[in-house]
Amino acid sequence: MPPTLAFDVYGTLIDTHGLIPLLGEMAGEETAPVLSRIWREKQLEYSFRRALARDYVTFATCTRQALDYACATLGVRLTPAERDSLLERYRTLPAFPEVPGALARLQDSGARLYAFSNGTREAVEQLLRAAGIRDAFLDVVSVDAVSSFKPDPAVYAHFLAQAGARADRTWLVSGNPFDVLGADHAGWHTVWVQRDAAQVFDPWGHEPEQVVSDLNGLTRLATTWG
């Protein structure tokens, strides 16, 4: 059975800080990076909290509520039109520059490529198509089907069922340490995409099997998946 590569989407393939230039126009250039960081941190925190509380809403709702929190924290007053524009643009965030080429090379390696995301299937399909990378994947697997979020063990079991894959032949590729740890707990192989050299992996006593600085590094690892 060829190896299965499950790619996280937000923060791994797609740049979640891709709206900083637009945020700069609305909130000021100095505020924009801080606003983007708080927005992303709260988006993930809300998904964790809702999964634990079994109070599921879609990832888009977490995103909207996190934006409202970030703006309130920094005293940024968006008009309704600006808020709507940001949320609409979030549906078409850009891919990181090396992603299209790296995915094309990985397709040639014989591995089975899937997108695996907290976003709904519809949202992820739109995001990948807008970035021009949807055709790289056999399918999109969303946590929405089990009404929870990563790193709930149920979502990793759901992926295996949907992809017809075995844990010991599946690699998670993610830029998010919590996702890597969740997949490791589920018995998967793991690759951490450490795009920021200053980012620290959580010291939980479980390290990713491989660390790469971007997706180009994956093509150099393809022989280890055999």
Active site residues: 8
Cα separation, 217 vs 226, whole angstroms: 16
**Continuous H helices in the chain:** 20-27, 31-53, 59-74, 80-89, 99-107, 121-130, 153-163, 177-185, 216-221
Write out the DSSP string of 132-156. Answer: T-GGG-SEEEEGGGGT--TT-HHHH
Query: Residue 1 corresponds to which tokens in the numbers above?
Result: 């059975």
- Provide φ and ψ at 210, rounded to 5°: -135, 150
